[in-house]
Amino acid sequence: MRVHILGICGTFMGGIAALAREAGHEVTGSDKNVYPPMSSQLEALGIRLTEGWDPAQLDPAPDVVIVGNALSRGNPAIEAMLDRGLRYASGPAWLAEHVLGGRWVLAVAGTHGKTTTSGMLTWILEHAGLNPGFLIGGVPGNFSTSARLGAAPFFVVEADEYDTAFFDKRAKFVHYRPRTAILNNLEFDHADIYPDIASIRRMFHQLVRTVPSNGRLIANGADDELALALALGAWTPIERFGREPGAEFSVAARVPDWSEFELFHGTTTLGRARWGLIGAHNAENALAAVLAARHAGVPPALALEALASFRNARRRMEVRGTVGGVTVYDDFAHHPTAIAMTLDGLRRKVGAARILAVLEPRSATMRLGVHRDTLAGSFAAADRVFLFESPDLGWDVRAATEVLGTRGTVIGVVDALAKAIAAEARAGDHVLVMSNGGFGGLHEKLLAALAAKG
């Protein structure tokens, strides 16, 4: 089968391409911007890439066109595809039909922590010798790719609530039909897709509806929105987890930064783990992954052993460099809750050392101004805050964060921002740069400015 993928350079669609190629299909694709590292990874797989949306890329006609959710009506390739009556499918639908059928699917859903938890679960199954297939929205640190077919039966998929395609506005995850589903948390996000939290809650319940009665739901028991979603109806056994000592399954820190923790079933210990991650949120993610692996037959002791060697995906508190005693981190956090949790974890790690938090308000929800009233509060653990205000943002970052007072600085040019941070930073500081995009190369520019500072 010849498969042509429109929007191939996104992490999810690139994963679909890798799976299709591994399954023996001829794969081609296109995107608006074709550049490394994704272009290099795809070309190494023998996948021919086209830049842009020229309809000529559909000659000769492929057997199926897989359409990414970033493409919409009016796109020249989309219009040509429809006019010619070509067969087409979304990435999630193609995955469900050609890969997930007959597999034991373990899906990881939630507003935050999907990529990290999916990576943990995949590594646990791998460590147990089960050779799972997986599709994750990032390259897990223990693997060299974001997707692989693996061996039957197990397949781990990051279950995204974002919409599927221009012709299917349901969440991606309704296609996956998991036997094991992790529900990490539920908050308002993706304001470009969902009008309110109730609409997201209903979509999560659509996922719950697809889990069979002999499956397992692993849900954050402290999340009120998840509780409301589950109250709409659940036909599957539920295991609830959390940090609270009275939770059915709980996690407790054994050191302040949560780099060592203990898991419990009621008052019975399931074991301890010492690992390279920090933060209570990551320990909760680990507990969810251990419970999902337990449902698949992996004993908790073996799962905890795997976590000791777990390496997180890039852009999750990733150290980009240390210059003049200043450590610069890169993190994907872009929602106030994630910002606060990430800063809390770093604070517990570095103690009284100064933290300089840097944020690009870039996500669709952030750009719509949905989080402007809660943004300032998410920086409670930071000593200084630098915010980037792009010219087309559409709301006043300075006004929204004026409560930060002298702790906050708003700058609208990336080069100037890098210089300002470098001028402020001193030996022993930790600079946490947060964005769900490339941030205009800020990390490299900041490291260069620190080096020039001497």
Say if domain 101-307 classifies as CATH 2.30.30.40: no
Q: 414-424 and 442-453 are packed helices; what angle lies between their axes, rounded to 10 degrees?
A: 40
Given a cut of 90, whether residue 348 has pLDDT beyond it is no
Computed on alpha carbons and rounded to an integer, the radius of gyration of the chain in Å comes to 22
Confidence at residue 246, expressed as pLDDT on a 0 to 100 scale: 80
With a pLDDT cut of 90, the percent of the chain lying above it is 61
408-426 burial, b at 16+ Cβ within 10 Å, e below that, comes to: bbbbeebeebbbbbbebbe
Residue 142: per-residue pLDDT: 86
Structure tokens at 309: 């060697």
Mean predicted lDDT score pLDDT of the chain: 90
Of how many residues is the chain composed? 454
Kindly report, residue by residue over 97-141, the tens digit of the pLDDT. Answer: 999 999 999 999 998 888 999 999 999 999 999 999 999 987 787
Distance separating alpha carbons of residues 384 and 380, to the nearest angstrom: 10
For the cut 90, the answer to whether the pLDDT of residue 10 exceeds it is no
Structure tokens given for 338: 């994630």
Please give the pLDDT value at position 320.
87
395 vs 132, which has greater pLDDT? 132
Query: What confidence score (pLDDT) does residue 411 get?
Result: 86
List, by residue range, all CATH 3.40.1190.10 domains of the chain. Answer: 101-307
Residue 37 confidence (pLDDT) above 70? no
Assigned superfamily of 318-453: Mur ligase, C-terminal domain (3.90.190.20)
pLDDT at 331: 87
- In this predicted structure, the answer to whether residue 437 has a pLDDT above a threshold of 80 is no
Residues of the chain with CATH 3.90.190.20: 318-453
Instruction: List, for residues 153-168, the tens digit of each pLDDT value.
Output: 999 999 999 899 999 9
Name residue 163's beta-bridge partners.
171
Amino acid type, 290: V
For residues 66-92, give the mean pLDDT.
97
Q: Coil, helix or strand for 275?
A: coil
397 three-class SS: helix
- Whether the per-residue pLDDT at 369 is higher than 70: the answer is no
pLDDT band at 94 (very low <50, low <70, confident <90, very high): very high
Residue 376 CB: number of other CB atoms within 10 A? 21
| Other Cβ atoms within 10 Å of 76 Cβ, number | 13
Of 43, 56, 45, 55, which is closest to residue 20 (Cα–Cα)? 45
φ, ψ for residue 208 (rounded to 5)? -55, -40
Confidence band, pLDDT 50/70/90 cuts, at residue 428: very high
Over residues 425-438, the mean pLDDT reads 89
Give me the mean pLDDT over the 204-223 stretch. 96
Three-state DSSP class for 204?
A: helix
Pairing between β-strand 249-253 and β-strand 260-265 as defined by DSSP bridges: antiparallel
CA separation for the pair 433, 265 (Å, rounded) = 37
Range(s) of the chain covered by CATH 3.40.50.720: 2-90
pLDDT at 78 over 90: yes
Across-strand partners of 72? none
Task: Return the exposure string of 331-340: e unless at least 16 CB atoms fall within 10 Å of the residue's CB, then b.
Answer: bbbbbbbbbb
DSSP string, 237-274: -EEEEESSTTSSEEEEESSTTSSEEEEEETTEEEEEEE
- Pairing state of beta strands 168-171 and 180-183? unpaired
Domain 2-90 maps to which CATH number in 3.40.50.720, 1.10.10.1110, 3.40.50.2000, 3.90.1530.10?
3.40.50.720
Does pLDDT of 367 surpass 80? no
Where residue 368 falls among pLDDT bands split at 50, 70, 90?
Answer: low
**pTM for the full model?**
0.84
